[in-house]
Amino acid sequence: MGNNAAEKTVGSDELVRLLLDSTGEGIYGIDLDGNCTFANPACLRLLGFDSDAELLGRNMHELVHHTRPNGEPYPAEECRIYNAFREHEGTHVDDEVMFRKDGSSFPTEYWSYPVERDGELVGCVLTFVDISERRRSEELLADQATTIAEIARFPEMNPGPVLRLDNQGNVLAANTAAREALGLELVGLCWRDICPGIGADTWRQILDATGPVTVERCIGDRDYVLTHRRDPESDLVFVFGADITEQKQAERALREADEQVRLLLDSTGEGIYGVDLEGNCTFANPACARLLGFAGVDELLGKHMHNLVHHTRRNGDPYPVEECRIYRAFREHEGTHVDDEVMFCADGKPFPAEYWSYPVERDGELVGCVVTFVDISERRRVEDELRQREKMAALGKLSAGLAHELNNPAAAAGRAAGQLDEMLGELLAATVQLARAGIGSDAWTHLSDRYIEFGRRSDGALGLSALEASDREDELLGWLERRGVEDPWDIASTLVNAGVGPEDLDSIAAVIPSERLGQAIDWLDKALDAQELAGTVARSSRTMSELVDAVKSYSHMDRAPVAYADVHEGIEDTLKILGHKLKRGIDVVRQYDRDLPRVQTGGSDLNQVWTNLIDNAISVLGDGGTITLTTYRDGDHIVVEIGDDGPGIPQEIQHRIFEPFYTTKEVGEGTGLGLDIVRRIVSGRCGGELDFSSRPGETTFRVRLLGEGAASCEQQTA
């Protein structure tokens, strides 16, 4: 296919239209007056316009680029887009904003390149992307960057230069890449003397800045981006360098090219390739070859792209081409966006990929599709890191809750055990005194039998109100005082708790000599007290054992990684773990179908789902409200609904609640990954479905899972 094929590709107006219509980046052109000459569909979508007729002929600076990020007016004569006019060279900017049709702004990264026709400058082409999501991810990681250990800041294997400076600019440490780049032993030298253009003003800007200060410098024959970050805790300045020589060379090569197609293909960082109806590659850009690990585009042309780079699913199963979502552009004649699959490099190594596939027509006939893809390994790493932190935060909450729940029974058992030790001594003394008094075996037998009977009564729920208990104490107090029993107040309270009435004391008085009655009642009081303390120890121990069992069940200890589980057990274990939060005045209503089949679950995956959803409900309810838990069958599926009567989710943000990193909580209270984790577990690992409905006073999340015997999670995932 060679150079002739490449030249035909570059010169094809049809390919220009194809690329403009299929790429996910916004692209528009302007003439020398700044007026729009063309705009692709992605440009319209990103800027919120319905038709290119709304843009054509309009001054794009005044329409979408009129204001700086700080809110100040942006004069057109200072606009960096027009460097393509003023300096006749390309421009790359990632620190400005653009404005949508509705007046809202978004952070953007853009590239502007001059366009010539017959050797004469006629305008420029601008490519831009919305980097809002990237900014949020960068901000989350930046907030945590200062806590990273110094050794991690200066990995010797870092491919770029890394230096540590004091606040005067003296080099304290430098990695091998820095020494090789500058050709010097750097320690002890002043950075301002080494790095071109770092004068006193720039150094003061670095020291005063609260965020990173980035400059581009040519050192030797290499170009670098140098990011300076001052550490406020140590008054040190860290320099992180990245070699952008190849990028600069590519930019210089692009400035020399006047063909729009090559500009569009070669300037984007995303991989782009086209396939015909047979799935064979018709063109590819250099980024595509680079991302896939091929030496050049020629190694891809004419090859079957599915068999070459997209042949296997994430779980290792073969990926039949007839099921490939890229070819939805053929089958359903519509675009496809996928971010949960993998592609394979030339060496067979997979990488997570996000891709867009769009159908291509020529003269009204479908001829193939264009695929744009990116390697999202770094994004996945950042997301996984933040999800792990979310899990650790959740584990901390559960640990705190468990400690709180265990503290009460443990403290009660400790107090009761100490009091029981003292009481047993007093009971022994009372027993010895009563035995010395010689009350007789019949009296002992009667007294022991009544003690056993009273113990059984105290085990049952007496259900006395405070007023009823007070009346009974007064009645027994009078009986004891009339017979001269010592400490009648303390004894009366113990006897009431054991369900003892005056008629019971009359039966004891009938067999115990009157002169020994006080000692007998005292012995009975201490025996019942000892029994109650022993019961407190036993009950507290049972409570602690139940909590430990709940945690063991919650975490699926001693179980296979994948097993069948009763959703009700997992929900109840979760409620026990979160019990300390529910005690603030939140009621839990259970509407369970106990005949539901079990579901397949991987370890404690589903328990994490219940924890996140129930904990979210608790958070919105605050100090009062009702959580309703409902389970029912729906065909082969079981449905779990978790509802609350809180304020509801505002309509304007409902479409965003499953987005990673999106949260309405205060800074530091959440990462915005809880519902994203829930969605991934339910849909990704268990092949289920997750949805919700919300209005003021009623929010319900629904989890649909396949019941035992219907299908496996792995089958669903595949």
More confident of the two residues 614 and 233: 614
Q: What is the pLDDT of the chain when averaged over all its residues?
A: 80
- The torsion angle over the Cα atoms of residues 564, 567, 570 and 573, rounded to 10 degrees, is -140
Angle made by CA atoms 603, 605, 608, in degrees to the nearest 5: 130
- Of the segments 121-130, 468-477, 499-508, which one has the largest average pLDDT value? 121-130
Report residue 143: phi and psi, to 5°.
Answer: -65, -25
Task: Name the nearest CA neighbour of 565 among 614, 600, 525, 529.
Answer: 600
- HSE at residue 386, side-chain half, CA atoms within 13 A, is 26
- Give the per-residue pLDDT at 390: 59
> What 3-state class would DSSP assign to 599?
strand
Is this prediction's pTM over 0.85?
Answer: no
Span 27-55, pLDDT tens digits? 999 999 999 999 999 999 999 999 999 99
Q: What is the mean pLDDT of residues 89-110?
A: 93
Report residue 574: phi and psi, to 5°.
Answer: -65, -40
**pLDDT more than 70, % of the chain:** 81
Q: Which of 33-42, 531-540, 706-715 has the lowest mean pLDDT?
A: 706-715
Start-to-end Cα distance in the chain: 37
Q: What is the mean pLDDT of residues 56-75?
A: 94
Confidence of residue 109 (pLDDT cuts 50, 70, 90): very high
- The torsion angle over the Cα atoms of residues 98, 101, 105 and 106, rounded to 10 degrees, is -70
**pLDDT more than 90, % of the chain:** 29
Q: Using CA atoms, how far apart are residues 479 and 489, in angstroms rounded to an integer? A: 11
- Give the per-residue pLDDT at 408: 63
Can you list the alpha helix ranges (DSSP code H) found in 211-310?
A: 245-256, 260-267, 286-292, 305-309
In this model, does residue 67 exceed pLDDT 80? yes
- Give the per-residue pLDDT at 667: 39
Spatial CB neighbours of 660, under 8 Å, sequence gap ≥ 6: 383, 672, 673, 676
Task: Name the nearest CA neighbour of 108 among 64, 157, 139.
Answer: 64
Q: What is the DSSP string of 420-468?
A: HHHHHHHHHHHHHHHHHTT--HHHHHHHHHHHHHHHHHHHS-----HHH
- Give the per-residue pLDDT at 488: 79
Contact 86, 80 (CB under 8 A): no
Span 158-200, pLDDT tens digits? 678 888 999 899 999 888 888 888 888 889 999 988 888 888 8
Say if residue 515 is exposed, middle or buried (CB neighbours under 10 Å; 0-12, 13-18, 19+).
exposed
Confidence of residue 496 (pLDDT cuts 50, 70, 90): confident
Confidence of residue 221 (pLDDT cuts 50, 70, 90): confident
In this model, does residue 669 exceed pLDDT 50? no
Span 646-656, pLDDT tens digits? 999 888 888 87
Spatial CB neighbours of 325, under 8 Å, sequence gap ≥ 6: 336, 338, 341, 357
